[in-house]
Structure 1
Amino acid sequence: MTTAGTFLTSLLDGRPDWPAWTTPPRLDRAAQLRADAAATRLLTFLDTDADLEAVERDGELPEGFLKALHDVGAFTLGADEDLGGLGLGAYDVFRVVEAAATRSAAVGFLLGVHNGIGVGVSLLPVLPEGPLRDLIRRHIADGMISGWADTDPEGQGNQWPTVTATPAFDGDGYVLDGEKLFISNGPVATLLGVTVTVRGDAQAPRVGLAVVDTSDPGFRVEDELEHLGVRGLPNARLTLTGVRVPDAHLVTVPEGDPRRTPVFASAVMTARLLIQAAPALAIARNCLRWSVEFTARRRIDGAGLGEYDLTRRTLAQNAADVRLMESATRWALAGPAPQDHFFERQLTRNICTDACARVVDRTLSLMGGEGMETARSKRARGALPVPMERAYRDARVLRTAGGVDFLADVQTASALLARRTPGTAQPAPHQAPAQGELSPRNRHHFDTLTDRLARFPATVEAVAGAVASDPRARQYPLLLLGRIARELFGTAAVLAAAAHDGEQALTDAHCTAAEARLRDLTARLDDPEGPDHAGIAAALLAGSGPTPAP
């Protein structure tokens, strides 16, 4: 059962819902002002007191940095006001995290983890009165840093987490043993959520969510990890050896996996936007500004760089992608009944990280040699030290963190297949945009979107049939279906935004580019097999295929 007005409804019903798409978000003006003030305080610290070049150079946060973030309220953005927090909703928290990420992707990432998936956000709202709720509230009031340890050494999303929770011999609580890898905020967290497999009791095995006090002597930060980008982000391999947690600090559900419960799964989806989409939008905004400034100061053979066709197209495409990211995020987090927009949040994660990658790549190409040169090298020769190479590295990390991008598209398609209703009636008539609400070109884009939506349920059925025998061996159609779904959502989000603010040119630029991508995706879906990729891969793995020269 889907909620009326969500984009998932439009995809499965095969028709647009223009009135629902264009229902204005109910924004809390007082909360907006609190968020603006929080962003100002945070940026003042980052611009005047923080040595972000040292963070990038050394790959770590200097002493006192986290306390300074605490002092400007960065760790209590969404916390209740009676706990000293700002009580912000998800969209306003997103805006503050994005602001921080314009200065440092690592800082934005850190704040996104804490304010998105920390135990004060992911667990507190569903906990009954009791010792665990009291513990988390006390730590929030004390300014804790939190995160979530889910990734096992074998990878993320395992059905059975490798950290085990077994009943203590004295009958008092559980003992945790095992290892977690790639855990953001792990080295600096006060309370950390840990996914575990409960063994040894009457209901075992089952998945549990344990809240761990990191001061426990059995909790250890074994290795602090360094990544391709977001340098300075606290991230580590953690071990738990005989860590004791009381019964009340282990959350389970009577049947199933607590990670799959609606509230927790919704928190994870929101967290992905704070952790990945907010820094992605920040990086894209920076690149748009840098590309404009670079173009304004460059001349070739006496002509301004902005007089060239390809330069103009680059700037326009960058601006259109930023517009896409803004529109999708607003729909996913700020629209009416945001708790119902789980599917939109799932789509928006990859919309933002992929659009960011396009913007970064275009900007690097536009800047040529300056794009490839490091900020340190530019500074040494007296040039403007635009950190383009840092943006390139950071943007690539965002497409992998929290789950690789192509698997997120496969998960989107799997969600569509799970919710489809085969044999439904033909789409009912729909309400179109009012006269003058969209420009003629954008009205054409709306009509094209309507046609694609009408065909989409049949596409879902075709993919369901193609992958039914062996989903693991037939992931490619799922990948294409997931990408088609997000292109359709992005187009709908941008068209709906145009109805609010009248921005027609950027809407047209986005929709034109999206339709080109959709034509390519559709053509590939019509011929999902293509070359013998399986045979080539099998030969390579067997050692008999072509190999690179030593």
Structure 2
Amino acid sequence: MSQPRNPMSIPETVSFLEQLYLGRFRWDLLRPFPRQDEADRKIGDDLARSLRELLTGRVDSDAVDRTGRLPDGLLDALQEHGFLKARVPTELGGLAVSQFTMFRLIEQAAQVSIPAALTLGIENSVGVGPMLPYLPEGDLRDLIAARLRQGTISGIADTEPEGAANLARFTTATQVGDEYRINGEKIHVGNAPIAELLIVSATVREDDGEHRRLFVVDTDSAGVTHTARHEFMGVKGFPNGGVRFDDVAVPVTRMVRTPPRDDIRLTLEASTMIVAGRLFMIVAPSLAIARQCVDWSCRFVSERKIDSRPLSEYEEIQRRIAESAADVFAIEAVAEWSLLSPTFADGGNPVFEQNAAKNIGSVIAGRVVDRTMSILAGEGYETASSKAERGSARRFPLERALRDVRNFRISGGVEFQLDYWTAEKAIFTYYHPDPDNLAEIEANRVEFDGLTGTDLSDRNEQHLRAAARAVRELSRICLSVARRHPDPATLAAHERPLILVSELANELLTVALVLAKAATLVADGHPSADDLADVYCTSAFHRVAYLRDQLAEQDGPHFGRLAATVLRPAEENRS
């Protein structure tokens, strides 16, 4: 590969998704599909069992949803057992678990309590513990190590009342002698009501201009005020809130000394933490909810009849349950590749795939919950507490799951905004200027070498070949879009094609990972994986066709004109 064109590329490593952007279907990179090391799996099994027992014994999920609070003593218990610093080295009192074991722990926690799982996710993905490996030797590293030994709770304060998508940060840090004075306000701060340390983003004026920097701030510092504990429509009980900083004095040693980046909102290290952290905070609970929905659907239809005919015998019910099971399989495949990829063995994170995983997992889980709601109908829409009051044996909290899962499409970046950013900052960096493999794309040849004899069924080998053709077509679509808008700034103003291209890439990535995982399982004697892959890919290619149709549309409706008409009364009232 030539020199990478965007910051997500890792020198000397090859990303399947990065290659996919360029029209290359690198099936060889996915085989054999990665698995968790057996010894690590056993560690994860034991820890997951212990965590589930701890949470089941202490958390009444209905009560947490009703009161909006986690039970007293839970955080102390989680800290005592090491779960709040599961990724921290053992010499600092942590469990030093692998990334995939951490994912499994959060998914297990989410099956008992989404708010508890999110608290674990924040601490173990974007708290001060995960930041430690990025810090050079010095006062700040020593401080954080000491606080981790003491069992600190932390979080990251970045989003501001002006919005999360702004590149600028309105919170400022002004140097006064050997201190910085921080002023500003943050909202939607995970773990804010319980955190003792916060990683705070702020704008700093330096000799060469203004840069976004990160500071580690004690929440009991003078001038730090907790403004409100946020209540959301879902994830009730997750400690989340606002924080105001009024001339908060922070020693200069508390600034994270990493090179500033003007093209991203945070430092590169923090952005890398957040990209991987979305797997813990979003994909893991999304998978937990989707998995539960399949279980609830099966239990419901196995007990219900319509005019003496079992609900499970109806074709549409069978189709919907099969699609949900295949969707769970897809989320598993994406998570496993994103956290077990051989890229790690080469010393790098599969950042392209991890970035895509957030939208893939949350969108798929949303489909599963919606499908389950239609199957359970009134019993799905009814709250668990209402079912308990009337003595129902089926108290599946699907109504709560619907509220919770909707959060994951907006948390960590609204899905369409993240798709737009990915296309602009990643995909189209390879098409402005022309891609290095331009002749290959224009020749429109598709290589099918290695796509037969895979242990997959004939239908799935057809899906494989269809995926290879679709990946080549993706590169031709990207080339066409880029040539219609040769100026990257002009292309960036046309948001819709960028969003659609990113969605298309995500669909094709998931198809490839599903097929690769299935091929490995079938070879190991698990034939049901063939059906799971076939069901998933069949539905996925319907979505692919729909996305292609939209991208091919040249003269569509005048959305801007209609939007201006609709917006006019609001703008007139504002003036």
Aligned mate of 1:214, from 207, 211, 219 = 219
2:168/2:265 contact within 8 Å kept:
no
Partner residue, 2:422: 412
1:165/1:198 contact within 8 Å kept:
yes
Query: Measured at CA, do residues 64 and 228 of structure 1 come closer, stay the same or move farther in structure 2, by a change above 3 Å?
Result: same
1:97/1:108 contact within 8 Å kept:
yes
Partner residue, 2:408: 398
Code of the residue aligned with 2:542 in structure 1: it is A
Partner residue, 1:446: 464
Structure-to-structure mapping, 1:29-428, within 5 angstroms: 29-121=38-130, 123-168=131-176, 171-199=177-205, 201-257=206-262, 261-338=267-344, 339-383=348-392, 384-414=394-424, 415-420=426-431, 422=434, 424-426=438-440
Q: What secondary structure, in the 3-state scheme, does the structure 2 residue paired with 1:66 have?
A: helix
Most deviating of 326-335 and 46-55: 46-55
- Tell me how far 1:261 sits from its aligned partner: 4.9
Code of the residue aligned with 1:422 in structure 2: it is D
Q: What secondary structure, in the 3-state scheme, does the structure 1 residue paired with 2:167 have?
A: coil
CA deviations 1:166-211 (Å, max 9, x no partner) are: 012xx12211111001111111111110110013x53442110111
- Tell me how far 1:268 sits from its aligned partner: 1.1
- Aligned equivalents of 1:498, 1:231: Cα separation in 2: 36
Partner residue, 1:511: 537
1:277/1:349 contact within 8 Å kept:
yes
Partner residue, 1:524: 550
2:20/2:471 contact within 8 Å kept:
yes
Code of the residue aligned with 1:418 in structure 2: it is T
1:24/1:336 contact within 8 Å kept:
no
Query: Measured at CA, do residues 261 and 205 of structure 1 come closer, stay the same or move farther in structure 2, by a change above 3 Å?
Result: closer
How big is the alpha-carbon RMSD for the aligned residues of Structure 1 and Structure 2?
Answer: 1.9
Unaligned runs of 5+ in 2: 523-528
TM-score (normalizing by structure 2): 0.90
- Tell me how far 1:27 sits from its aligned partner: 3.4
Structure-to-structure mapping, 1:467-478, within 5 angstroms: 468=487, 470-471=490-491, 473-478=493-498
Most deviating of 426-435 and 487-496: 426-435
CA deviations 1:12-52 (Å, max 9, x no partner) are: 33122122111343634333322222211211121122232
TM-score (normalizing by structure 1): 0.94
- Aligned equivalents of 1:301, 1:124: Cα separation in 2: 62
Identity %: 37
1:102/1:282 contact within 8 Å kept:
yes
Q: What secondary structure, in the 3-state scheme, does the structure 2 residue paired with 1:318 have?
A: helix
Q: What secondary structure, in the 3-state scheme, does the structure 1 residue paired with 2:121 have?
A: helix
- Aligned equivalents of 1:136, 1:528: Cα separation in 2: 55
CA deviations 1:113-148 (Å, max 9, x no partner) are: 111111221x21121111100111111112221111
1:494 equivalent in alignment to 2:520: no
Code of the residue aligned with 2:44 in structure 1: it is A
- Tell me how far 1:262 sits from its aligned partner: 4.4
Unaligned runs of 5+ in 1: 546-550
Code of the residue aligned with 1:419 in structure 2: it is Y
Partner residue, 1:548: none
1:180/1:239 contact within 8 Å kept:
yes
Query: Measured at CA, do residues 135 and 419 of structure 1 come closer, stay the same or move farther in structure 2, by a change above 3 Å?
Result: farther
Q: What secondary structure, in the 3-state scheme, does the structure 2 residue paired with 1:32 have?
A: helix
1:435 equivalent in alignment to 2:443: no
- Aligned equivalents of 2:39, 2:233: Cα separation in 1: 39
Query: Measured at CA, do residues 247 and 419 of structure 1 come closer, stay the same or move farther in structure 2, by a change above 3 Å?
Result: farther
- Aligned equivalents of 2:466, 2:79: Cα separation in 1: 49
Partner residue, 2:526: none
Most deviating of 29-38 and 202-211: 29-38
1:99/1:282 contact within 8 Å kept:
yes
Count of paired positions? 541
1:466/1:474 contact within 8 Å kept:
no
Q: What secondary structure, in the 3-state scheme, does the structure 1 residue paired with 2:479 have?
A: helix
1:13 equivalent in alignment to 2:39: no
- Aligned equivalents of 2:251, 2:86: Cα separation in 1: 29
- Tell me how far 1:321 sits from its aligned partner: 0.3
- Tell me how far 1:471 sits from its aligned partner: 4.4
